[in-house]
Structure formats: structure tokens, C-alpha cells
């Protein structure tokens, strides 16, 4: 059954009031708070239809109703208006993030900022090496037979490894190896570098082939093939701010799920460019999170997505506000990474 505009307005009003008050919403309150231009009796009839269609439910025998997951989904898809951030909020985000001194600081500032602005649990994935491009390689002699390889990604992420060489190496040869590696790999995505690393060995002069072979092994094994991903989390205490109906009375499954990095990476790390994904209640594949909602988006310099971020909280959340905040913070972090 297609809902007419008035019933959609009633649903929007119910969602907005319930999110704001944490109390089931009755017809009289809707008429008093919203310019619906109809009588409480008409609103009650509309609410009866919305309940029959599965968009609202009666949590107990009071006259009030609360939205269902389907009601929130319809609200997010068709009824909500993303709230633009105020100039003051935008300046606050910019000031908070602009003071970051390195990548770790960017991530930790971002996750704290998201938790403070949304009053939800905030999750930020560190820039993924698998999606990053190479900015610079440095070779630092530790001894005549050992080098430190330092790889700096475009996102500011730094990886370093020690390489034991098959024999002593001259300073001029280290300079030549550094030049060749940077010439071949700078600007390339790490996932695209394996054939380039192999070519470095094939193209090396006979005298440089043994140390280049040792270097290529480390580059392939530890920089290209690494799958380690990291997550930052903040605002877990915000879960306790809600009412009795949030999380179906138990926080334990939510807290246990938040301890699993694999779960968080699946929820927040698999996000496409320029897309904000909202998962509501039963839409979550993770059973322990079916009383929660998730707003997630990707971030990175320009159109490149190097990681995901977002918030997790009760289905009774401020979707327009949270979507706007997550998008804005992701955009600022992407700009910051692009400038670094």
C-alpha cells in the first residue's frame, strides 16, 4: 500500500519526536507539536495504517507509538532532510583537525571529534595500505650489510623494515638503489607494485642485483602483501545514554561486537567512494548489532578512498544530523590527507 503525503508527514513527525524525547508518541502530542492541519482523530487513523503497514509499533499498552526498523528506513530514504552544518560547526571541525601533527594524531582527533559531535560510538579505520599510493621510499644504512627501508604513503602512513643484505654495500650503491626504487614506485598504488618490484630486480645492474633482490623480497612480503588493518574507537560510554527501549534492554552483545576488529572493519572499512551507507537494526549482518544502526562513509584525498569512518548507536538516532556530520568530517580528513 502506497502511503499518501499526510501519512508520510505523520511518520516523519513520529520519528523526529521519538528521537528527541525517547518517549512513545501519541496523536495528541503530534497535533500539538507539528503543523499537521488535521484533527487528533485523523492522526490516530493515519497511525493505525502506519502500524498495520509495519512502520510504527506500540511498545506497551499506552497510546504512544515508536518507529520500527522499516519506519526508520523509510524516514532515511524518503523523509529525512540532511541537516547542513552551521558555519560554527564547520569551523570547529576544521580547527580541531588542522592542529594534528601526524597520521596517528589525525585518526585519534577524528574519532574523538565524531563521538563528541554525534554523541554516538565513533569508529575510524586507519588509512589502508592496500588502497594507498607510494609517496617516497627512503633507504637508511644501519651497517654495511643492513638497511632500513622506510615507505611513506600518500596518506602519511609510514612503514619501516630492516633488510639484511647478502654482502657489504657502498654508500653510492645505496643512493642508486634509492633512486631506482623511487623512480619506479612513487605515485603507484601498493596493490599495483608487485610486477614493478620484480622489474626492479630484472633491470638492476649485475653488481646491484643481490641487494635489490633482498630489498624486493621485503617490499613484496611486508609492504605489498600485508593485510593488517587498524581501527580507532571512541565514545563507547555514549551507548549508556539512551532509554530503556534502546538495544532491547542489553548492551552486552553490542559491547562484545565492538571488541572485534574484524567486525568493525567489515562494517566501516568496506565503503565505496562518495557513498554514505546507513544500516538500520535487522539490516545488519552481525546478529549482535541488530538493535543498533550504523552510519558509515569512506574518506581519502580527492576521489581516492583509503579508509572508512562512521558512527554506531541505537536505531533511535538523529539520522539527518549524524549523516551530515560523518560526511563533513570525512571530507575534512580527506582534504587534510591531500595537503599532507
**Strand positions, DSSP E, the chain:** 56-57, 66-67, 121-125, 134-143, 146-153, 158-164, 231-234, 276-280, 292-299, 307-314
At residue 199, the pLDDT reads 92
Per residue of the chain (340 residues), give pLDDT as tens.
Answer: 568 888 999 999 999 999 998 889 998 889 888 888 888 899 999 999 999 999 999 987 776 899 999 999 999 998 888 788 888 888 889 888 888 888 889 999 999 999 999 999 999 998 877 777 888 999 999 999 999 999 888 877 788 889 999 999 999 999 999 999 999 999 888 878 889 999 999 999 999 999 999 999 988 876 665 556 789 999 999 998 876 667 776 788 899 999 988 889 888 887 776 689 999 999 998 888 998 999 999 998 878 888 899 999 999 999 999 999 999 999 999 888 877 6
Instruction: For residue range 299-327, list pLDDT tens digits in order.
Output: 988 788 888 999 999 999 999 999 999 99
Listed as own residue / partner, the contacts of 234-237 with beta carbons closer than 8 Å and 24 or more positions apart are 234/111, 234/112, 234/114, 234/115, 234/121, 234/122, 235/111, 235/112, 235/114, 235/115, 235/116, 235/118, 235/119, 235/120, 235/121, 235/122, 235/311, 236/121
Half-sphere exposure (Cβ direction) of 7: Cα atoms closer than 13 Å = 18
At residue 241, the pLDDT reads 82
Q: 294: closest CA among 257, 331, 328?
A: 257
At residue 38, the pLDDT reads 86
Residue entry with cell 575534512: 332
Amino acid at each position: 500500500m502506497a502511503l499518501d503525503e499526510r501519512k508520510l508527514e505523520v511518520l516523519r513527525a513520529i520519528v523526529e519526536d521519538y528521537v528527541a524525547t525517547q518517549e512513545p508518541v501519541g496523536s495528541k502530542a503530534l497535533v500539538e507539536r507539528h503543523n499537521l492541519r488535521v484533527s487528533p482523530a485523523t492522526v490516530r487513523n493515519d497511525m493505525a495504517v502506519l502500524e498495520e503497514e509495519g512502520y510504527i509499533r506500540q511498545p506497551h499498552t499506552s497510546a504512544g507509538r515508536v518507529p520500527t526498523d522499516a519506519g526508520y528506513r523509510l524516514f532515511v530514504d524518503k523523509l529525512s532532510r540532511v541537516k547542513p552544518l552551521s558555519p560554527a560547526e564547520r569551523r570547529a571541525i576544521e580547527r580541531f583537525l588542522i592542529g594534528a601533527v601526524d597520521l596517528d594524531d589525525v585518526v585519534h582527533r577524528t574519532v574523538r571529534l565524531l563521538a563528541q559531535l554525534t554523541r554516538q560510538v565513533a569508529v575510524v579505520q586507519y588509512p589502508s595500505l592496500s588502497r594507498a599510493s607510494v609517496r617516497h621510499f627512503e633507504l637508511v644504512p644501519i651497517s654495511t650489510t643492513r638497511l632500513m627501508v622506510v615507505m611513506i604513503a600518500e596518506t602519511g602512513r609510514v612503514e619501516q623494515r630492516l633488510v639484511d643484505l647478502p654482502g657489504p654495500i657502498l654508500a653510492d650503491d645505496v643512493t642508486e638503489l634509492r633512486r631506482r626504487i623511487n623512480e619506479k614506485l612513487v605515485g603507484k598504488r601498493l596493490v599495483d607494485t608487485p610486477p614493478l618490484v620484480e622489474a626492479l630486480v630484472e633491470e638492476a645492474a649485475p653488481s646491484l642485483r643481490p641487494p635489490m633482490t633482498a630489498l624486493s623480497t621485503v617490499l613484496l612480503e611486508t609492504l605489498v602483501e600485508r593485510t593488517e588493518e587498524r581501527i580507532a574507537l571512541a565514545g563507547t560510554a555514549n551507548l549508556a545514554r539512551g532509554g530503556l527501549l534502546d538495544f532491547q534492554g542489553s548492551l552486552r552483545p553490542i559491547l562484545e561486537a565492538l571488541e572485534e576488529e574484524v567486525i568493525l572493519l567489515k562494517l566501516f572499512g568496506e565503503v565505496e567512494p562518495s557513498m554514505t551507507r546507513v544500516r538500520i537494526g535487522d539490516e545488519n549482518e552481525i546478529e549482535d548489532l541488530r538493535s543498533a544502526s550504523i552510519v558509515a562513509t569512506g574518506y581519502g584525498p580527492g576521489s581516492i578512498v583509503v579508509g572508512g569512518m562512521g558512527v554506531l548507536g541505537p536505531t533511535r538516532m538523529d539520522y539527518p544530523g549524524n549523516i551530515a556530520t560523518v560526511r563533513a568530517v570525512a571530507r575534512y580528513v580527506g582534504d587534510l590527507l591531500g595537503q599532507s
